[in-house]
Chain A
């Protein structure tokens, strides 16, 4: 089933993402086929429709600040997928700076600083280490208010990672056949700025 995923999704995260069980892959993959949509598989995506609702239904402006921090126990960088998701709100990314630091005996941390067409400014960060519990935190601030989400909030001292919210993934997916311009622009910008680790 994985082989039927679009090329840009069928990547090492599918193979390496240790937070996913085989059953989840099957379930998600089945829904990919039935929904004919392209989307990322990271958890925490239930935050995206909630923020989307503020943009759509409460007309929050797209000129603000988004801070997003993923903690992963797998090697994959979600940068491309997350920027793609952001293009739906903020248009194309215009500037991107990426830096990372990694220790032999510790986590790899990546910081991406992004400015979008809408003037939204984004700090996207990833902490990746096999010994960390996966989590996703995000905060959007604009003139209308602040939206905060933390996937770890319901837990304390619980090491089990939260599960992927498939409904949210599908809700927020790109319909197949759309988003090519955005995908090319995002890929080009990332490859210009980052090199090998994407």
Chain B
């Protein structure tokens, strides 16, 4: 992957999409092989090392948001920055800016449980971007959302990529892959079976629809 790319990982259930993402994020370790991200050998990191790596290199968005229910929206977003040692005032300013950009600043003091699915996913995105990570990982980011909310998240990711954010999206949603990525990697049984550009994805989608 090159900086600025947005890559969609596609594949059927059990193909290894989420496992790949977990390996990149340092949440899991490969049995064999190596994982190198931004010059860092992730597979060789210990638990503490992996935590430091995630703080600085990775932003992650999950299907079920993974927000801390007992922290407010603002506190959830600020958390990675404070862990990384960012000054409180600066972290608050950055969180406010992100929440405003994502259109959820009015919920800053609310707890995640009170937000809709789309709003929660925006909070998750804000938190993922807090430390300006070189790589944003999204695991089925629209999987738990209604169509409209899913489209909003899809648009958001596209905008982020347009601003230069490198993104890896794991999904089985071709529409999401088409709308917010410029490269698609298909995997099955843990192996890459295809690596195509965004136009090809668009063509493939159109052909599939025509065939129906």
Q: Do A and B bind each other?
A: no
Q: Give me the interface of B with A, judged by CB distance under 8 Å.
A: none
